[in-house]
């Protein structure tokens, strides 16, 4: 992907966020660069992977540099969703050194986070390979960057839960408590849901599961249930609703959860506590 290709993948809202990120970093007032780097000095920067994983966010990486300095030439050599290894040269930026350095941190932050999410999603998908379950994300995302973080989950092979509060009805413990129980909560939703928005309800035990199955609902969230309870939930449900396991899912536990027969496993850690993928940007003053 060349630097100009990112314009086909990034909408105006994302472009505005990238510009705000550069403004937040005071990129146009980078005193370290302005006081040490001659404005006429050319350079080449090489993006190098320090680990194995899934590449994601090449368009954001390129955009961060070219929003700051449109004259920079950016080439990205990895496709989103591709596997990269340690030492792989993933991108090259050429132009004024004083244009490259101020945008470096924003570009690396965006690329590192999205590649980290994609890589973790791929690891979870690998753990449940051969089962009928699907890994999905949650809304525990960085505000304003949700669409891109959910894109990264898909890039890693996972699926997206609801994008926002309007897209799906999800009745959790507080909704249920205020409504007076799972059945009153479902009845209240049915009274208003002329648009037939998908509905999911959280249950904490098998008794609540039986109640919501009797009332009828498309999807049921099994909150922090044991493996034995999940297996029994699958048996009792008998495909009358889709079942989603949730609550503290980890890589070392997800396989056994998938083997209970649930349809979805939601993993908040995909976005709320992911480790950034390790990239480095090295300057090559002789590579221009």
Known catalytic membership, residue 252 = no
Residue 261 φ/ψ, nearest 5 degrees:
105, 5
Known catalytic membership, residue 41 = no
Taking each helix axis from N to C end, the angle separating 12-24 and 58-68, rounded to the nearest 10 degrees, works out to 60
Known catalytic membership, residue 140 = yes
User: Roughly how many angstroms between the first and final C-alpha of the chain, as a whole number?
Assistant: 19
Catalytic pick from 92, 139, 154, 172?
172
**Cα–Cα distance for residue pair 217/198, rounded to 1 Å:** 9
Catalytic pick from 19, 105, 139, 255?
105
Catalytic pick from 51, 75, 204, 223?
223
**Cα–Cα distance for residue pair 82/53, rounded to 1 Å:** 8
Taking each helix axis from N to C end, the angle separating 206-215 and 227-237, rounded to the nearest 10 degrees, works out to 20
Catalytic pick from 127, 202, 244, 263?
202
Instruction: Tell me the two tokens of residue 253.
Output: 């536990």
Known catalytic membership, residue 231 = no
**Cα–Cα distance for residue pair 113/271, rounded to 1 Å:** 9
Among the residues of the chain, which ranges form H helices? 12-24, 31-34, 58-68, 97-100, 104-127, 146-155, 173-179, 182-192, 206-215, 227-237, 254-258, 269-272
Among the residues of 101-161, which ranges form H helices? 104-127, 146-155
Distances (CA, A) of 259 to 134, 224, 237, 270: 11, 16, 16, 20
What SS3 class is residue 242? strand
Catalytic pick from 140, 146, 219, 255?
140
Known catalytic membership, residue 105 = yes
Catalytic machinery residues: 105, 140, 172, 202, 223
């Amino acid at each position: 992907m060349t630097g100009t290709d990112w314009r086909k993948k990034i909408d105006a809202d994302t472009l505005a966020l990238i510009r705000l990120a550069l403004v937040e970093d005071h990129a146009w007032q980078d005193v370290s660069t302005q006081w040490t780097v001659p404005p006429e000095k050319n350079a080449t920067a090489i993006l190098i992977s320090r680990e194995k994983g899934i590449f994601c966010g090449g368009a954001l990486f390129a955009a961060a540099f070219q929003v700051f300095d449109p004259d920079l030439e950016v080439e990205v050599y990895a496709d989103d969703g591709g596997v990269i290894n340690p030492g792989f040269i993933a991108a090259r930026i050429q132009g004024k050194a004083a244009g490259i350095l101020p945008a470096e941190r924003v570009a690396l932050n965006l690329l590192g986070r999205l590649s980290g999410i994609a890589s973790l999603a791929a690891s979870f998908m690998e753990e449940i390979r051969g089962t009928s379950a699907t890994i999905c994300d949650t809304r525990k995302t960085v505000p304003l960057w949700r669409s891109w973080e959910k894109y990264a989950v898909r890039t890693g092979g996972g699926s997206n839960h609801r994008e926002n509060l309007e897209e799906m009805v999800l009745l959790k413990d507080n909704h249920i408590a205020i409504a007076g129980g799972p059945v009153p909560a479902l009845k209240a939703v049915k009274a208003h849901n002329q648009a037939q928005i998908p509905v999911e309800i959280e249950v904490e035990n098998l008794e609540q599961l039986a109640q919501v199955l009797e009332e009828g609902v498309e999807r049921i969230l099994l909150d922090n249930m044991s493996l034995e309870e999940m297996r029994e939930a699958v048996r009792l449900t008998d495909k009358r609703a889709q079942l989603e396991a949730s609550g503290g899912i980890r890589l070392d536990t997800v396989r056994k959860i998938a083997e209970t027969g649930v349809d979805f496993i939601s993993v908040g850690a995909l976005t709320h506590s992911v480790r950034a993928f390790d990239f480095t940007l090295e300057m090559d003053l002789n590579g221009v």
